[in-house]
Amino acid sequence: MSLARVVLTTGRQLDLSDLRFSSTYGGMLEGYPCRVVNEMKIRGLLHSAEKEFPSTPVHLVPPTREYPDQYAGAFGPVEVMPSVACVGRFRSTALDPALDPVLHRSALAVVWFQPTTEVPSGCDAEEALRDLAWDELARDYEL
């Protein structure tokens, strides 16, 4: 049973089987949101997704970044990503039409950022998430 179903712009339906939310800047005791901090956050999320789903390819949906007019500190200008970091595992039908559809599926772990803790669903998911190039990024597996 999936947590939600996301419909890609191509029409392919993905079942969201695992989902983890975290605050993008939660636990940040010192410093400020900047490129260095954001890149470390992204690397950490990608690494945790690779560890959590070792047999599944991992993809980053590049986050939007805002540059508010604030004082630039030692690490450069303030750079803010959406407030909720997401790691999810999606499943769909097999990519290879020659595979038995009863025994095979395709999967992809995705890291993305969004402004709220709403579970992506249907055609209401973030556009960048719905634009995934599933056929190029996902991998088939046997049940």
- d(CA 7, CA 15) in angstroms, rounded, equals 9
140 pLDDT exceeds 90?
A: yes
CB within 8 Å of 129: residues ≥ 6 apart? 6, 61, 110, 112, 120
Residue 72: predicted pLDDT: 83
Q: What is the mean pLDDT of residues 78-106?
A: 96
Q: What is the mean pLDDT of residues 40-51?
A: 97
29 pLDDT exceeds 80?
A: no
Q: What is the mean pLDDT of residues 45-69?
A: 96
Q: CB–CB of 84/21 below 8 Å?
A: yes
